[in-house]
Amino acid sequence: MSKQRGFTLTEVIITLVILGILVVVGVPIVMNLLLSMRIHTAAEVMVSDINAARSIASTTHDSIWVVFDTGTEEYSIYKGSSVSTRILIKNPMTQSDWIVTLQDPKYKGADIISASFGSSSELLFDQWGDATSGGTIILNNELTVQVTELTGKTEILE
Domains plus CATH for the chain? 9-157 (3.55.40.10)
**Could you read off the pLDDT of 4-22 as tens digits, one per residue?**
788 899 999 999 999 999 9
Q: What is the pLDDT of residue 15?
A: 94
CA distance 10 to 50: 60
pTM, to two decimals: 0.85
Rounded mean pLDDT, 61-85: 96
